[in-house]
Chain A
Amino acid sequence: MKQIAYYPGCTLYTKSKNLDLCARETAQILGVELKELETWNCCGAIYSTVQDDLANQVAPIRNLIEAQKISNKLVTLCAACYNVLKRSNHNLFLPENDIYRRRMMNFLDTEYDGKTETVHYLEVLKNDIGFENLKTKVKTNLDGLKVASYYGCLMLRPSDELNFDDPDNPTMMDDMFAALGAEPVEFPFKGECCGGYVLVDKPDVATRCSQTILESIVDAGADCVATTCPLCQYNIDNQQKLMSKQFNLPVFYFTQLLGLALNVDQKILNLDNHYIDPKPLLKQKGLLK
């Protein structure tokens, strides 16, 4: 089986176990082993924009170097990890950062040529496995489920560094859901900020951001939301209790719905770990017994 280096990150080990476990399991079914790095550390969490950020960048770069033991690709799921790992590598190998790179290598006491390409699990599904191929592997067709794919900000921007999908009109997750038989729903806020960054500081602002997104998703007629980012998931799911309007809209990780389509064990899907219980919806759609 093809092995690709895998970086789960901290949240996927704790709060977002369902994002992590579903990914590992579905990859296995689709013929790819997400091989977790032997040792890993914090991704850096927030991409640093200060002038001298050597200390901040050491963390992500160390993970990228570690990945080389397994493959030239490093798969990650959390949108924040993806953003930080990919941009750190990009930044380190800019021609103007020659001196900075040497300092980094001196500090880490190693050599690294920048060959580790950070990819998102969605990209593995699209490019390594292929959505057409995925279609043939579906056991439970998600027919009749209207899914709003919410990408959030970190996957898409800055687009010239991440090069993930069109920042104004991303379609990768929608295409995946179409392959699973679900109906992707168009709405204008696919890449808008959920407010997660200010959740602690200004919860009212954060709630307003996610409420705007949810409103447009409901207007568009979606049954549920799918996301890639633990922070977005928490913010859109958990914060519904604080909103001025009650939506009662389940918020999935995309890997959960993928797992559902591939008949992954319910224990792994972990559908109890949600504020808005998604089970009634899935039962109503005949996707869950």
Chain B
Amino acid sequence: MKSDKKRIGVFVCHCGINIAGTVNIPEVVKRLKEQADVIEVIDHQYCCSDPGQNLIKETIKEKKLDSVVVACCSPTLHEPTFRKTVSSVGINPYNCEIANIREQCSWVTDDKEKATDKATKIIKTIIKKVEHDEPLTPITIPVTRKALVIGAGVAGIQTALDIATAGYPVILLDKNPSIGGHMSQLSETFPTLDCSQCILTPKMVEAKQHPNITLMTYSEIESISGYLGNFKVKVRQKAKYVDWDKCTGCDVCVDKCPKKTPDEFNHGLTQRKAIYKMFPQAVPNRVVIDAPNCLYLEKGACRLCEKHCPFGAIKFDDQDQITELEVGALVMATGYELLDKQMLGSYGFGKLKNVVDGLQFERILSASGPFMGEVKRPSDGKIPEKVVFVQCAGSRDPENAMAYCSKICCMYTAKQAILYKHRVHHGEPIIFYIDVRTGGKGFEEFYKRATDEGVLYIRGKVSKIFEKGDKVIVWGADTLTGKKIEVEADLVVLSTAMKPAATKEFAQLLKLTQDEYGWFTEAHPKLRPVETLAGGFFLAGACQGPKDIPEAVAQSSGAASKVIGLFTSDTLEHLPVIAGVNEDMCSGCGICIDVCPYKARELVTTEDGKKRTVKVIEVLCEGCGACSAACPVGAAQQKNFKDQQIQDMVKGGLE
């Protein structure tokens, strides 16, 4: 502890009227001058502005300050700014602290007098903290310059390609046997009507052929440990029962396999075999055996695939393989799923055969789909003469499903209606909508094109869908005429809501936060949209919220550039606000070792061999302070969050 007193300066920011509108700043300054043990208290309109920062610098020099408190907005915003400012004039950045008197004071109360009191007290707590702050230097840690991208849809592929092209190795992982994600299921893309597969497959092949990209398909994350720059990830590669080094993807086995099961790629509209390739353009172009459906693996008899494989690639004794990866950064590109139709009771619970969801209709429209691009309906293969599209099926519906707008449905519904009209010229597409949202390049024009090409838009929600004979009856309202509408349709397409594919368990495994619906939470909704609060984890694509393809791709390149930025140096600075050990006080009881979540503490014998004490592996310490609270003698002290400091802060807040 320093014997001589600190020379503390306090700078109180008005933030225009954001703070000064509620907090009486002159009064705060006056009280601090009277009551707090500080050298100088100055207020300024905008401390974060250049003149504001210059004022701080000048005052530091003039008053020979060694510590600074800035009372302003949340430290998440300007702590780095002011720490840089003070260090430019020779003060250790960790001797500059922020008192949050905006988000947690001026913005949350209208009572000016009380806000002034509260602001003064908050500043006092921080002054108390600064009194015992030590100068700290960041700890340097090495960075493994290799990235792991989880999810190989278009977002994951783009991220991997960008990082790989910058020269860093990438592992691109997907739970399915092939990369490609949902985009490989789509027919054509709005608003240009490019064939989805035609623009995606070159990227898939590029990813496979890129020397810096390693594909790990049919794989899932088992566990993860480590920290920014130094993660250890265990990956489970599911047993494929096929030796992919020998398999050529010739499909002979698929033809011979006798067991059929609903095809996930076609969303149950067709059947696939127990040994299968996800889709013809699959990358890697290999087959896998789906064990629960395989007659041999389940019942012990068949082996037809083995018999007919020209390359001897079938491997019934295949096992799941655990691989441990060392990577420096992870990018989440886990994407979305559609809301289960079973959630939508009044739309038939998913029980009605001729009520399909958006992705099923994409498959119906797709040239490689169940009807080879001819529009037919699932129940009897008839060409539907009248198709009703129901937008916002589960979106913007807080009572039954999701409160949010799924964003892509207006456009893809318009696209599907146009494509339907192109294939069935005399067909009648009818779209029920709440609002048509066309915020995007070329979107409004595309919507116009749909109406011009004969798509009927009815503004209103559909209340009920049921079968009558071989028709699907749709009840809805036309809110523009105020009339009840009944449509006898041949096929109904529900634009079901997008929901995140990542489960809660998956997020917990990775320690990432999700919002109430399960979308991953970004570090800042506006300014840090591709980062998470967990260091080394980045977000790409629709795992963060509903997005269309260009947005997902743009975000993916954003995430990639963050990873590349991280990899430009082979070392990183680690926050020095870690917990240490006072060896003289430490009794070597080891309680702190048990409470440390990072295994950053270990029991050692002192050099003279006289006593046991605890050593801290500084790089591993994340500074949670659990050990400091647990230590019975106060030997474990978190730097700049020492017992004395917190107790003084409490006093400061109560004076």
* Residues of chain A having any CB pair with chain B under 8 Å: 166-169, 188-189, 192, 216, 219
Contact = CB atoms under 8 A, between A and B. Distances in A.
A178 to B, nearest CB: 18
B374 interface: no
Contact of B345 (A167, A189, A216, A219): A167
Q: Which of B349, B467, B469, B473 has the most CB of A within 10 A?
A: B467
Contact of A169 (B345, B467, B473): B345
Contacts of B346: 168
Contacts of A168: 345-346, 349
Contacts of B467: 188
A219 B468 contact: yes
Is the contact region of chain A dominated by helix, strand, or loop, or is it mixed?
A: loop
B466 interface: yes
Contacts of A216: 466, 468
B366 to A, nearest CB: 31
A219 B469 contact: yes
B464 interface: yes
Contacts of B473: 188
Contacts, number: 18
Contacts of A167: 345
Interface in B306-353: 345-346, 349
9 contacts: A167-B345, A168-B345, A168-B346, A168-B349, A169-B349, A188-B466, A188-B473, A219-B468, A219-B469
A219 to B, nearest CB: 7
Contact of B464 (A166, A188, A219): A188
Nearest to B400: A168
A74 B473 CA distance: 40
A90 to B, nearest CB: 17
Nearest to B399: A160
User: 6 shortest A-B CB distances, which residue pairs?
Assistant: A168-B345, A188-B466, A168-B346, A169-B345, A169-B349, A166-B345
Given A188-B467, A188-B468, A188-B473, 7 more contacts: A166-B345, A168-B345, A169-B349, A188-B466, A189-B466, A192-B464, A216-B466
A255 to B, nearest CB: 27
Q: Which of A168, A216, A219 has the most CB of B within 10 A?
A: A168
Nearest to A219: B468
Nearest to B473: A188
A216 B464 CA distance: 14
Interface string B463-486: 010111100010000000000000
Contacts of B345: 166-169
A216 B486 CA distance: 15
A216 B467 CA distance: 10
A95 to B, nearest CB: 21
A167 B349 CA distance: 12
A44 B400 CA distance: 30
B413 to A, nearest CB: 23
Is the contact region of chain B dominated by helix, strand, or loop, or is it mixed?
A: strand
Interface of B: 345-346, 349, 464, 466-469, 473
A53 B469 CA distance: 46
Nearest to A160: B399
B485 to A, nearest CB: 15
Nearest to B467: A188
B471 to A, nearest CB: 11
Nearest to B465: A188
A168 B343 CA distance: 10
Contacts of A188: 464, 466-468, 473
A192 B475 CA distance: 12
A219 B470 CA distance: 12
A136 B349 CA distance: 33
A172 to B, nearest CB: 15
Contacts of B349: 168-169
A32 B454 CA distance: 64
Contacts of B468: 188, 216, 219
A216 B468 CA distance: 8
Contacts of A219: 468-469
Nearest to A216: B468
Nearest to B346: A168
A166 B473 CA distance: 21
B313 to A, nearest CB: 47
A219 B473 CA distance: 14
A192 to B, nearest CB: 8
Contacts of A189: 466
A168 B349 CA distance: 9
A219 B466 CA distance: 13
Nearest to A167: B345
A169 B464 CA distance: 12
A189 B464 CA distance: 10
B317 to A, nearest CB: 46
A38 B192 CA distance: 75
Nearest to A186: B351
A88 B85 CA distance: 64
A189 B346 CA distance: 10
A38 B144 CA distance: 81
A98 to B, nearest CB: 26
Nearest to B349: A169
A1 B349 CA distance: 42
A188 B471 CA distance: 13
A166 B346 CA distance: 11
A189 B473 CA distance: 12
A167 B346 CA distance: 9
Contacts of A192: 464
Nearest to A215: B468
A32 B473 CA distance: 44
A72 B292 CA distance: 51
A104 B467 CA distance: 48
A167 B467 CA distance: 18
A188 B352 CA distance: 11
B146 to A, nearest CB: 50
Contacts of A169: 345, 349
B473 to A, nearest CB: 8
A241 B313 CA distance: 74
A166 B400 CA distance: 12
A87 to B, nearest CB: 17
A219 B467 CA distance: 11
A21 to B, nearest CB: 35
Q: Which of B345, B469, B473 has the most CB of A within 10 A?
A: B345
Contacts of A166: 345
B220 to A, nearest CB: 34
Nearest to A188: B466
A247 B467 CA distance: 20
A165 to B, nearest CB: 11
Nearest to A169: B345
B461 to A, nearest CB: 15
A167 B468 CA distance: 20
B627 to A, nearest CB: 43
A192 B473 CA distance: 15
B651 to A, nearest CB: 38
A272 to B, nearest CB: 34
A188 B486 CA distance: 14
A168 B467 CA distance: 14
B30 to A, nearest CB: 44
A118 B645 CA distance: 59
Contacts of B466: 188-189, 216
A148 B467 CA distance: 16
A219 B468 CA distance: 8
A162 to B, nearest CB: 15
A96 B424 CA distance: 56
A167 B399 CA distance: 13
Contacts of B469: 219
B110 to A, nearest CB: 24
A134 B464 CA distance: 34
A196 B473 CA distance: 23
A168 B465 CA distance: 11
A170 to B, nearest CB: 10
Nearest to B464: A188
A189 B468 CA distance: 11
B350 to A, nearest CB: 11
